[in-house]
Amino acid sequence: MTSPLPSAPRARDASVLDLAPVVPVVVVEDAATAVPLARALVAGGLRAIEVTLRTPAALDAIRAISGAVPDAVVGAGTLLTPAQVTESVAAGARFLVSPGWTDVLLTAMRASGVPYLPGVSTASEVVALLERGVREMKFFPAEAAGGTAYLRSLSGPLPQARFCPTGGIGPGNAPDYLALPNVGCVGGTWMLPDDAIAAGDWARVERLARAAAALGAARDRQPGA
């Protein structure tokens, strides 16, 4: 992931992995909820928001957040095709995430001009991306693929690779992932309860987002962090 994020306040923020300790993974069923949802997440301290392309409302949601929530860094997830890459960037996505990768998809993401996190779950996939100059990746499905033990094992022979683990991560195990030297952030959905979204309880979403953002402060207080 080589392209810097637009308007990053510090050089460190040139990476989406460093924007927040947790990236909310959002499935939007109704685009009308996108803006208040994003505002609640940003107010809670989670600026980077991944909207997954799993619903017909996803691109409209990205477009709405991009236009109405300037403090959010909205990205597109579950990218599977070059066409989705093009559509997502046109809608305002500022980073791209895929559950896996092929050379065709990787070429499209690289050409998009925005940061990207191709998905990996094996050491061979990591090495293949490193050969192509990609050092920041999504580790998915994190728990099913080996969890913290697997990522810790990768950090020795492949220290140049950094990850955003996603899949099976919640408030109980997120700190274990964030304590790893090769993990920049984690992705999760626990700050987005279905009942809170259905009820428009954005104050609850903000509280959960703030608790998730606090995981980063706890990590930074650890010796050697």
- Spot the catalytic one: 87, 125, 138, 143: 138
Cβ-Cβ contacts under 8 Å for 107 (sequence gap 6 or more): 82
Q: How far apart are the first and last CA of the chain?
A: 23
Q: For strand 136-139 and strand 22-26, is the pairing parallel, antiparallel, or unpaired? A: unpaired
Active site residue 50: yes
β-partners of residue 130 are none
Of the listed 29, 50, 136, 206, which one is catalytic?
50
Q: Measuring CA to CA, which residue among 136, 143, 140, 207 is closest to residue 174? A: 143
Give the neighbor-by-neighbor strand order of the sheet with 116-117: 116-117, 96-97, 73-77, 48-52, 22-26, 186-188
87 is annotated as an active-site residue: no
Q: Which residues are marked as active site?
A: 50, 138
